[in-house]
Structure 1
Amino acid sequence: MTIHEDVIERIISTTMELIQESDGNIKRVTTRKIAERANVAVGAINYYFRSKDRLIEIGLQRMLEKQKEVTSPSSRTGDTRKDLIVFSQQFADRLFGHAAISEIAILEDMKSPKTTDNTAKSIDEFLTFTAVEAMEDGRIFALVTTIQAAFLRRNQSKRETGVDLLEKEQRDLFVEEIVTALFSE
């Protein structure tokens, strides 16, 4: 690893640590804090990443990729709808299991959507379980964004819907109902 690569990795790793420590408040992750903890000059962050926002985006992307590696899809049963339910439940579990990171990523995607953002990547993941028609008619988009919206409202879910999304059993039933509603023949 070159000196430049080492500095870049140190800055990204430090940013990831600070994101996790921020409990979803990325405003607390300052360029100065990153530089101090990574033992680099503030100018190095701008030199290598152009902006703190770009660095945060890279850090979040890496964190989400690690999250996906840990929670890879379970084996398939051959029943597309059942497999989609299980995968959707695992997707929801990933969001709830890493709430601060997930919240930042979803809100960033909503604020400035891109074809390469985390929501788009999640939609692509879901496409492995469904036919192209589900993408074309918007059902996969509806499924992913509904689960994301429910996650963002997780603390109000019991009062608003009678379902406590913080409880895995209730969340699994909720996700199953969404999949069934969107993908019933």
Structure 2
Amino acid sequence: MVMNEENVKERLIQATMDLLKKEKSAKKLTARKIAETADANLAMINYYFKSKDELVSLAVNQLIEASGEKQEELDLKDQVPKERLITFLTAIADSTCEYAELTRPTIPYLLLEGEFDLSYQILPLIKECFNNQRDETECRVIAYQLVSFLQIAFYRGKDFERYSSIDVMNEHQRHQLCRVLVEDAVKE
């Protein structure tokens, strides 16, 4: 029974992710459509996730995390640590923008209450950049600084653009921002 319950829960998450990739909008998703795609009872959404919004938020986060995992899987060993960090942050920023309508509403939660998953994900790269010349706390602060700054810049995109003339929705400018942030934070 437990195995079947996990199966239903995972099918609901996967169906939501598939629909989000297809629709690129949470507004077009209905609980009924998610349940139908997952071949699950509609009531299971509230049973496992309390609401459709919680399920959608979880699915969005998994899409972004999957982007980060894809970057980890790439053979970037030929790159110096700083370039790998820039590549990784750029990929996360690109995914965040690709799913902008979905990610923007989750940023306040991530900043105020969410786990520091992305900061932990980049921590090994930060440590590599400093070749063990900085202590653990300093590296953690730098990782959090990079992630939270990008989250705020994305969340307040228009205000940030007025202030800095950097449009985070513009790919070239976004990539340049990631490079500048890393270059500034990781001075060797």
> What TM-score, normalized to structure 2?
0.70
Distance apart, 1:75 and its partner CA: 0.9
Do structure 1's residue 163 and structure 2's residue 159 form an aligned pair? no
Computed over aligned residues only, the root mean square deviation of the Cα atoms, in angstroms, reads 3.3
User: Equivalents in 1 of 2:166, 2:111: separation in Å?
Assistant: 25
**What 5-or-longer segments of structure 1 have no aligned partner?**
115-119
- Partner amino acid, structure 1, of 2:174: R
> What TM-score, normalized to structure 1?
0.71
3-state DSSP of counterpart to 1:165: coil
- Once the two structures are superposed, residues 125-163 of structure 1 have per-residue CA deviations (whole angstroms, 9 ceiling, x without a partner) of 211212274751311110111111112233444322112
User: Equivalents in 2 of 1:99, 1:134: separation in Å?
Assistant: 35
Contact 1:155 1:166 in 2 (8 A): no
3-state DSSP of counterpart to 1:184: coil
Indicate the residue corresponding to 2:125 in structure 1: 129
Distance apart, 1:174 and its partner CA: 1.9
User: Equivalents in 2 of 1:54, 1:93: separation in Å?
Assistant: 23
Query: What are the equivalent positions in structure 2 for 1:15-164 lying under 5 Å apart?
Result: 15-17=16-18, 19=20, 21=23, 23=25, 31=31, 34-35=34-35, 38=38, 40-47=40-47, 49=48, 51-52=50-51, 54-72=54-72, 75-77=76-78, 79-114=80-115, 120-131=116-127, 133=134, 136-137=137-138, 138-164=141-167
Distance apart, 1:94 and its partner CA: 2.6
Do structure 1's residue 183 and structure 2's residue 170 form an aligned pair? no
Contact 1:18 1:29 in 2 (8 A): yes
Contact 2:11 2:38 in 1 (8 A): yes
- Partner amino acid, structure 2, of 1:174: L
User: Equivalents in 2 of 1:14, 1:128: separation in Å?
Assistant: 32
User: Equivalents in 1 of 2:40, 2:84: separation in Å?
Assistant: 47
Contact 2:24 2:99 in 1 (8 A): no
How many equivalent pairs are there?
176
- Partner amino acid, structure 2, of 1:142: Q
Percent identity over the alignment? 24
3-state DSSP of counterpart to 2:93: helix
Contact 1:18 1:34 in 2 (8 A): yes
Contact 1:134 1:140 in 2 (8 A): no
User: Equivalents in 2 of 1:149, 1:82: separation in Å?
Assistant: 23
Give the direction of change, closer, same or farther, for the CA distance of 1:41–1:154 in structure 2 (3 Å limit).
same
